[in-house]
Amino acid sequence: MSLKTAPPTRAPIPMLPRRRSAWPGRCAASVAAGLAAFGGATLTGYEQAAGPGLTAGAAGAVVSGLLWARELHRDEILDRIVVAATQLQGYPRPVRASVKVLRWSKVTGGLPTRVVIDYSPTVDDGPDLRGKLKKVLEQRTGLTFEISKHNQRRCRITFRSVAPVVEPSEVKRSRELLQDLFGESATIQFAYDGDQVNRMRVEHKLKAKAARQQVRKGIENSLTALLDGRWRAKWELTKDEVTFERRPVMPTAVPHKPAPITDENRWRIPVAVDEDENLVVWNLKGSGPHMLITGKTGTGKTVAINGAIMEIARRGWPVWICDPKRIEFMGLRDWPNVEMVSTTVAEMIATIKLAHDEMERRYEAIENEVATEDDFEPLVLVLDEYRNFFRQVNSWYSEAKAGIKGLPTKCPVFEWVAAIAEKGRSGHVHIILGTQRPDADFLTGSMRDNFDTRFSLGRLSPEGAKMMWESYYLGVSVPRKIRGRGTGLTEDERVEEVQVLWTPDPRRTNHNDNKSDQKLLDNLRPANTNHPPKQIELGDDVDLDGHDISEWFQVMDATLVPAKPRARRPALPGLPSLHGVQRSAGEQDAPLASAEHHDHHEPPEFDPFDGYLEAAPAAVSRVEIGDLLCVDDQLGLWAAVEGIEELDEDEDGYVSIAWRDDDGADGTLSLPSDDVVEVRRPEPEPDNELVGASA
């Protein structure tokens, strides 16, 4: 005889014993009265009254029966609410007295419209309990309730039914998604225009979980993947609240229009605008005395640096520029308050040394109580193309130190840069440092902390995002066809997508005769020149005995002298001179060619696969944020992955992938996790060449 295991049985829902009702007796009494009236009328000879008497008795019995049925229906609804509400609080048995109905619906009388629930004093009467009790009422009655009164002293909550709000389908979907992410106890408020949700505010109980960036990023990715549009979040961790907003459409070009300089904005240098078109500034007196800007050729890095230089010059402060590429800042050589533009290695090293010496001189004056920090105006040192500068210095220094004993192995200029970054704030000596990509050795430790004002223009690889923003996700999907688009750190320490202010290059504007750009430059040009042009004068190249002096010692003896008029250099053999050429009336100089010159109205040409490896098949479950994904085989459309969320559909694993292409268009794909797609992985960051530069 085989033994069969009995199927598990579900525990019955405990129901309350029925109360004794008066309606059955009244029904019987009505029937008896009708029969008595009928019999009495017949016996007494009043047959005409027999029919009405019997009808009245029957009617009374019917009414009593209906009222009895209504009472049974009400008791059934009330019992279900009592059982659910009491078990929710951990009562050992249902207590009918814990739930009272103050008012039933007027039409049918079969649904409670005002309910009082007494809860146990031992439970937490926070949003979680209130939300669960409200849900119990709505599920058991089919009505919509709100809390009209909460007496915490008596442990009593009064609910009243309200007219149901017909929510748009997107609101309903958003509410269900948020309750799935934050729990049913979360309080959600929506702001929407028509059927489109624009803002969602959530009061949650995640507590310590919300402090983990991975948890917050996962929630944000879920929203972007499962709702239309792109969303951003503002977390208020101390209040257990978060606001989600639909990202606005950012402008692709923002002309640099100078604002009047006041005491409030004098130390705030505008650089870009954020998604809400609010200015993102470099606050010299705030948390970022130095500014770092990264970006490949054509991303707008030089445009951003030009804009910052012109704003500093407008304030009457001196600017010293080191230009390793020699032609990037040619247009600023005659700009008011730009004292010098150094291009040779010896001049650039001497410029940095003189800035370091000036900082030390200011510290000495403060230490000797000859001056205070407020007595010095800012001196801004611009050092562009830092990696290029590093290579040039190493090559130059290996020759300059040849035959000289006692010199350090590495050029001290890098120590001077690090010292200015660490100490420059109090002496008001500031650095703008530009480099094509983040460098792990440069962006670690104290050097990263000293460059709190940071901008990365163009798209970052996950490794670059980690170096720049300590996150693998920020900036990895920036559209590359929009010049000047990137990621920046705001004053309240939020990393956001930004659009750099368009600041024309004076040299190219003059050659192109661009009227609109010329007007921008005229408005940015300082009215007064507080600091006339200067130049680096190296030390003597021969000693008194006629022996050659090493260029290193010439740099150490360099001084700053008034600039001499620049002699016009002759054209190279085989190239026409731009000066002295006979032109016909109205003929203009042709624009000079430059690797980084692109009209700001047209996106620069670029290789769509630059920075990525060859295409290879990969399972959807192996796709990572920052990958380049083929989202449309027929159109050959590739886009960067900016969000991944695992889904469960029909018990099969699905993955929702949020993407964004180089034009800024975005969308989502929902694919089985075991499906195969074409991806291109980001190229690994090359071995760092700046080891020891920040020592």
pLDDT tens, position by position, 449-488: 788 899 999 999 998 898 888 888 899 999 999 999 999 9
pLDDT for 307 equals 97
Confidence of residue 306 (pLDDT cuts 50, 70, 90): very high
The yes-or-no verdict on residue 581 having pLDDT over 50 is: no
CATH number of this structure's domain 272-525: 3.40.50.300
Which tops the pLDDT comparison, 584 or 209? Answer: 209
CA 686 to chain centre: 28
pLDDT for 442 equals 59
Confidence of residue 41 (pLDDT cuts 50, 70, 90): low
Mean pLDDT of the chain: 83
Confidence of residue 100 (pLDDT cuts 50, 70, 90): confident
CB contact at 8 A, 490 and 276: no
Give the length of the chain.
Answer: 695
Evaluate the CA torsion angle 645, 649, 652, 658 in order and state its sign: negative
The yes-or-no verdict on residue 601 having pLDDT over 50 is: no
Alpha helix (H) residue ranges in 228-320: 301-314
pLDDT for 49 equals 65
Instruction: State mean pLDDT over 6-33.
Output: 61
pLDDT for 2 equals 44
Instruction: State mean pLDDT over 363-389.
Output: 93
Q: Structural domain boundaries of the chain?
A: 23-162, 169-246, 272-525, 616-680
pLDDT for 162 equals 87
Instruction: State mean pLDDT over 496-523.
Output: 92
Max mean pLDDT among 71-75, 141-145, 245-249, 497-501 falls in: 497-501
pLDDT for 402 equals 83
Confidence of residue 583 (pLDDT cuts 50, 70, 90): very low
| Range in 317-321, 525-529, 597-601, 647-651 the model is least confident about | 597-601
- Residue among 231, 326, 307 at smallest CA distance from 666: 231
pLDDT for 384 equals 93
Instruction: State mean pLDDT over 577-604.
Output: 40
Which tops the pLDDT comparison, 605 or 333? Answer: 333
Q: What is the pLDDT of residues 408-424, one digit of tens each?
A: 989 999 999 999 999 99
The yes-or-no verdict on residue 689 having pLDDT over 60 is: no
Evaluate the CA torsion angle 43, 48, 53, 58 in order and state its sign: positive
Instruction: State mean pLDDT over 92-121.
Output: 81
Q: pTM of the predicted model, to two decimals?
A: 0.71
Residue keyed to tokens 């709702």: 227
DSSP, collapsed to helix, strand or coil, labels residue 446 as helix
CA gap 443, 432 in Å, rounded? 15
CA gap 84, 138 in Å, rounded? 12
Fold of 169-246: Alpha-Beta Plaits (3.30.70)
pLDDT more than 90, % of the chain = 41
CA gap 496, 499 in Å, rounded? 10
The yes-or-no verdict on residue 587 having pLDDT over 60 is: no
Confidence of residue 144 (pLDDT cuts 50, 70, 90): confident
CB contact at 8 A, 486 and 464: no
CA gap 353, 694 in Å, rounded? 16
CATH class of 616-680: mainly beta
Confidence of residue 119 (pLDDT cuts 50, 70, 90): confident
The yes-or-no verdict on residue 70 having pLDDT over 90 is: no
The yes-or-no verdict on residue 43 having pLDDT over 60 is: yes
CA gap 213, 496 in Å, rounded? 15
pLDDT for 648 equals 62
DSSP, collapsed to helix, strand or coil, labels residue 272 as strand
What element of type H or E holds 191?
strand 187-193
pLDDT for 129 equals 84
From first CA to last CA, the distance across the chain in angstroms is 84
pLDDT for 677 equals 93
Instruction: State mean pLDDT over 61-81.
Output: 78
Alpha helix (H) residue ranges in 338-457: 345-367, 386-400, 413-427, 445-450
Instruction: State mean pLDDT over 537-554.
Output: 85
Which tops the pLDDT comparison, 583 or 576? Answer: 576
pLDDT for 82 equals 85
- Residue among 92, 71, 69, 66 at smallest CA distance from 19: 71
CB contact at 8 A, 626 and 641: yes
Confidence of residue 78 (pLDDT cuts 50, 70, 90): confident
Q: What is the pLDDT of residues 424-455, one digit of tens each?
A: 999 999 999 999 887 765 555 566 678 889 99
Per-residue tokens: 216: 């917050």
The yes-or-no verdict on residue 370 having pLDDT over 80 is: yes
Which tops the pLDDT comparison, 165 or 77? Answer: 77
CA gap 349, 393 in Å, rounded? 8
**What residues does 156 pair with on adjacent strands?**
118, 151
DSSP, collapsed to helix, strand or coil, labels residue 588 as coil
- Residue among 456, 501, 448 at smallest CA distance from 475: 456
